[in-house]
Amino acid sequence: MNVSFFIAKRYLLAKKSHNAINIITSISIALVAIGTMALIVIMSVFNGLETVVGKLEAGSSADFVIDYKYSKYINTTDFPKEEVVEINGISAVSSVLEDNLLLKYTPALEENSPREFIAKIRGVDNSYNNATNIEDKIIDGVYFLNSRGVNYCVLGNGLANRLQIHINDFDNPIRCYFPKAETGVSINPMDAISVKDVFPAGVVTISADLDDKLIITSIDFAQQLMNLPNKATHYFVNIASSADEQKIQTELENILGDDYIIKNRRQQNEVMYNIMKSEKWSSFLILSFILFIATFNLVGALSVLIIDKQSDIKTLIFMGANNSLISKIFMIEGFMVTFSGTIMGLILGSSLIFIQDIFHLVPMQGSFIIDAFPVELRLNDLLSILAVVISISMLAVIYPIRKLSKIM
């Protein structure tokens, strides 16, 4: 066994001549453990929140959204859909037509109290459910958009409540108003408005923002209402769970060229993800600074230990030990203290994450779609924490070792 390691281990485990040294060393280990545990817990909570937000956005969008760079609308006859579908790993490609419109609905037995609201219409084709799994988020009625020439729709939960929608109300359709493009001057203002009726078939919940304004119809209905045949605003692309996202994005860029903008889920919500990322790493830096301050106890513990072991240092020097060996002993001692605290922190932090994930002990206060704080442990976070703890430990060990070198 290495001599410096053996002596450092003895100094760590053996009882010191002064009980204060044992107390200071134990406090140092405990503070490193608590700091490491706090870093793991905070990072895991942010990871969990990021995953939950990603799942919430899954119904409102797809793995990739394709927009035309030079115009609001994409000509569906020019879009190379067949080539996109043939890319290995792509499971669904759906054309989507979106815009704002006015909705008017008169509930049964309330003929004199019509409801009106500005909403967002989303006209979709038959592949939309495969691209977004929207059917899994239906909370009332069914996902049903067209049958035998009759147009149906699915509304966000908040929008349905605002309009007081009755599902399968075939006597009172939802009336949709959309301004006609390039309409000349007319005495009757309604000549500039396109009006069509659609019947409510279901209610969906996706996200707080979309639930308050979204109405989903067939793309044929939306194109007729807007007088935009063969037009779409986006293409939604969904991929298999085992597919390589980066590889598919590269292939899409090669097929579509520079005329189209391709965004993955993170790029679609770039601002939100950047905010969460900045908060996550800000918390990481703050806790790292607290951990750095806590390691001053390690400086004190090593300094007191060096003073306590002066007779041992003299004996080692008389036996032929050089300054490098003696410095190495106390350096290893400092690393052992930090390593012990780090291992304890990793075990405690991982255990807390596991318990929270299984039993949901810490609830979220307020009205949220989840009852408890979500957690997710990631390997790169553990590596980052280990790197920070090791770096801080090296800085904490340097000062007492330099003082020791001067003494010797």
Q: Give domain limits for the chain.
A: 3-57+272-407, 90-239
Look at strands 150-156 and 138-141 and give their pairing.
Answer: unpaired
Which has more pLDDT, 22 or 366? 22
pLDDT, average across residues 285-305:
81
pLDDT, average across residues 317-341:
80
Look at strands 64-68 and 115-124 and give their pairing.
Answer: unpaired
Q: pLDDT band for position 356 (50/70/90)?
A: very high
Measuring CA to CA, how many Å separate 173 from each of 97, 156, 186, 333? 21, 16, 27, 78
Portion of the chain with pLDDT greater than 90, in percent = 45
| Average pLDDT of every residue of the chain | 85
**Residue 56 pLDDT > 70, yes or no?**
no
pLDDT (0 to 100) of residue 404: 64
Q: pLDDT band for position 331 (50/70/90)?
A: confident
278, 283, 211, 220: which is closest to 56 by C-alpha?
211
CA dist., res. 371 & res. 202, Å (int):
26
pLDDT, average across residues 254-260:
94
**Strand, coil or helix: what is 95?**
strand
For 157-198, write each residue's pLDDT tens digit.
Answer: 999 999 999 887 788 899 999 998 765 555 656 678 899 999
For 70-102, write each residue's pLDDT tens digit.
Answer: 999 999 999 999 999 999 999 999 999 999 999
pLDDT (0 to 100) of residue 28: 83
**Nearest-5° Cα angle at 342, 340 to 343:** 65
For 130-153, write each residue's pLDDT tens digit.
Answer: 888 888 889 999 998 998 889 999
Tell me the H-state helices in 86-148: 128-132
Portion of the chain with pLDDT greater than 70, in percent = 91
pLDDT (0 to 100) of residue 157: 93
